[in-house]
Structure 1
Amino acid sequence: MTTAPHLALLGDATSVHVQRWAREMRARGWRVSLITARPQAIESVHQIVLPPVRRQTDWLWRVGAARRAVAALAPDIVHAHYVTSYGYLAARCGRQPLVMTAWGSDLLLTPRQNPLIARLTAWTLGRARLVTGDSRDLLDAARRLRPGVRTELIHWGVERARFAPQPWADKPGFEAVSLRSWETNYRIDVILRAFAQVVSERPGARLHLLGGGSEEGRLRALVNDLSLQNSVHFHGRLDDVGMAAVLARCKLSISVPESDATSVSVLESMACGLPVIASDLPANRDWLGAGALVPAGDVAALARVWKALIDDEALARQWGDHNAERIARDGDRRVQMDAVDSMYRRLLAEARGRAP
């Protein structure tokens, strides 16, 4: 009987993306372990819990625990999610083959904080056998930081059986949704200020906020200041079933962060046949037409496109239909995770070919 290859992930168990990755690899015949500083049960995935991380510098003091965890597991493949945290730990462990997945801010923002962090990130990338990312600009950033690093474009993908278009006629009014976290980068405040302009002229409009985050108090206060209490619904973090239920009643999705790689929430909205208004960022240009893109932070531009779609539902449906077709062609999670499985097995074959 052939022993299943052993994959050790390093990442936050609380992240739905890490949870999905682990389950997808389990479904493809991998034995999966997870080394994490933020534990949460994942079925059939053994976890080794690191001491808690409360500030960025704590990662520097988790190297010993991470090394002991990797040595105890002795996996065939090590894969770290988020370069400047778990990627750094994995790089210090020294076990190969090592894969790292960049998530966005770890390469697009964090290395800009100071030259030391940039050098440390470059060193970390240099220890990876392969770096994956979900947008071309993210992989370009990896290669700028570490010239010659081997990269591969892998999207998180969408579970199309769950996130699928619903009949437009079944949707009440014209409700919009944001799936982005309530953190500074994602500019939920911009969405709320634009919505205030929208609802002043289209009083039947409604907005649903999913995601949750540290900015909740400030955002609730802003809703009160803008007198939007009857039009904005705070849902917080929902599972896939809850997210799909909210998406099913909405006719528009909005994602306007300052910085981002390919957003899973954008892809899920597209898969549901919704038009999406998004920040004019390189990753979004790969998925959306120019008319759907607005400058990050531009309240007036967002409100203008939002009102245009409310006034022209035929256009909104046209955008949504195009989005659903695009995801069917290029964004299926099953296809992306099959590519990951092939990538792992290729790296294992390469490693065995180098063995004495």
Structure 2
Amino acid sequence: MEIKILMLAPLSSIHTIRWANALYDRGIKIILAGATTYDPTLYNEGIRIISLQLPASQTGRNAKAVGKLSYLSLVNKVKQLIKEEKIDIIHAHFASSYGLIGALVGFKPFVLSVWGSDVYDFPIKSLLHRYILKFNLSKATLVLSTSHVMADETRRYTQKGIDITPFGVDTNVFKPEYDQKADSKGFVIGIAKTLEEKYGVEYLLRGYAKFREVYANQNSDIQLKIAGEGILKESLVKLADELGIAGHTTFLGKLKHSDIVGFYNSLNIAVFPSILDSESFGVAVIEANACGIPVIVSDVAGFKEVVMHEKNGIIVERKNADAIYEAIERLYLDKTIREKMGNFGRELVKEKYEWNKNVEYVISIYNNILKYHE
């Protein structure tokens, strides 16, 4: 029997794109509805995509004031869509927004995936926000989380069972490409993240500056590559200039997802210095590991779940540029440790975060829910 899933999710997110395409490729009928702009060429042609753009009166200067409640106007449209398509399951991604639509529609079964800021940041804004999150979770048939640590945070707002469904990595795509590897004489450090405060790129710049100060005389070909865009880009470029590392720091802008594999393979190490626990699962970390690249990560909860200290990377104190410098120095001086950590990291990803296994597990969840609701 063909399963029809109505996915409520941000259309431009790479996570939405990956889930929708992977499920469709495995015979699941996907109807996708979201309220963000998107590139249709990134989706399989057989996926029906419905734009839930906000009404004109709720865009522009009024958008911030309307906030999350804007989604209420979309409920009737979703109800009509359920009737038209004879939907089997609603699966909403992001508990504070699309989760609200799913909860208000009242259709069962209703699967709700938490993503991070929806359970870490949203409920602490006000009592109303907390109530909305609790309400959304209470209406779900089942709650899904990408990590155990985020599941624990979610349990503050619900007593429902929570299944763990990681954003895994296709290790047939994310793999070592030895022709792309950094020149053996040089040393390349990198990060691929949105340039926002929560990702702590400032501390990487400061740690890297100290590293260059100590070792640039020994090796002039030490580089830092930063992939990503964001509101802090201008200030980070300025900081690199102030620290005297601008000539050896490259801001690459936002890369296409298809270019990320080549990016990681051009590095010797990847560094992820996030400062907030809303970094609930280290997708970028396991992508780097899958390419055989050792990582340095901060001690935020989500990273500690995917990094085994001294095994596939080094965990350092958050907001600590000196600790980042020391970790970079250690990996720079010991190529054997770099290779050992990179190899261990790839095997760990293949064992725990293989994308195909993750997708099949979600399909098994759908099948079990439908059996229960027959």
Structure 1 length normalisation: TM-score?
A: 0.93
Q: CA distance change for structure 1 residues 186 and 170 in 2, over 3 Å: closer, same or farther?
A: closer
Shift of 1:93: 1.4
Partner of 2:236: 219
Partner of 1:143: 155
Residues 76-100 of structure 1 show CA distances to partners (whole Å, capped at 9, x for unaligned) of 1111111111112211111111111
Partner of 2:357: 335
Partner of 2:76: 67
Partner of 2:285: 266
Answer with 51-60 or 25-34: which moved more. 51-60
Partner of 1:182: 195
Matches within 5 A, 1:337-352: 337-352=359-374
Partner of 1:201: 214
Residues 84-125 of structure 1 show CA distances to partners (whole Å, capped at 9, x for unaligned) of 111122111111111111111211222222333222211111
Residues 317-338 of structure 1 show CA distances to partners (whole Å, capped at 9, x for unaligned) of 1111110110111110000000
Asked whether the equivalents of residues 132 and 154 of structure 1 are also in contact (C-alpha less than 8 Å), the reply is yes
* 1:153 lines up with 2:172 in the alignment: no
For 1:279, the aligned partner's letter is S
**Unmatched segments (≥5 aa) in structure 1:** none
Shift of 1:194: 1.2
Q: CA distance change for structure 1 residues 124 and 169 in 2, over 3 Å: closer, same or farther?
A: closer
Partner of 2:340: 318
Partner of 2:320: 298
**How many equivalent pairs are there?**
349
Partner of 1:94: 106
CA distance in 2: counterparts of 1:96 and 1:217, whole angstroms: 47
2:176 to 165, 169, 183: 165
Asked whether the equivalents of residues 71 and 100 of structure 2 are also in contact (C-alpha less than 8 Å), the reply is no
Shift of 1:229: 1.9
Partner of 1:18: 16
How big is the alpha-carbon RMSD for the aligned residues of Structure 1 and Structure 2? 1.8
2:303 to 284, 299, 305: 284
Shift of 1:267: 0.8
Shift of 1:138: 0.6
Partner of 2:140: 128
Residues 136-186 of structure 1 show CA distances to partners (whole Å, capped at 9, x for unaligned) of 11111111211x212101101001111112349942121111111111111
For 1:32, the aligned partner's letter is I
Structure 2 length normalisation: TM-score?
A: 0.89
CA distance in 2: counterparts of 1:320 and 1:264, whole angstroms: 16
Segments of 4+ moved more than 3 angstroms: 52-57, 166-170
Partner of 1:47: 49
Shift of 1:6: 1.3
CA distance in 2: counterparts of 1:236 and 1:14, whole angstroms: 17
Asked whether the equivalents of residues 63 and 93 of structure 1 are also in contact (C-alpha less than 8 Å), the reply is no
Partner of 2:6: 8
Residues 278-301 of structure 1 show CA distances to partners (whole Å, capped at 9, x for unaligned) of 111232222223341111111111
For 2:320, the aligned partner's letter is D
CA distance in 2: counterparts of 1:35 and 1:139, whole angstroms: 25
Q: State percent identity of aligned pairs.
A: 23
Answer with 332-341 or 293-302: which moved more. 293-302
Partner of 1:238: 255
Asked whether the equivalents of residues 71 and 97 of structure 2 are also in contact (C-alpha less than 8 Å), the reply is no
For 1:122, the aligned partner's letter is K
For 1:327, the aligned partner's letter is V
Shift of 1:243: 0.7
Q: CA distance change for structure 1 residues 289 and 168 in 2, over 3 Å: closer, same or farther?
A: farther
CA distance in 2: counterparts of 1:46 and 1:87, whole angstroms: 20
Shift of 1:58: 2.5
Secondary structure of 1:34's aligned partner? strand
Asked whether the equivalents of residues 149 and 305 of structure 2 are also in contact (C-alpha less than 8 Å), the reply is no
Residues 246-285 of structure 1 show CA distances to partners (whole Å, capped at 9, x for unaligned) of 1111111111212211121111011111111111123222
Shift of 1:56: 7.9
Partner of 1:112: 124
CA distance in 2: counterparts of 1:109 and 1:224, whole angstroms: 33
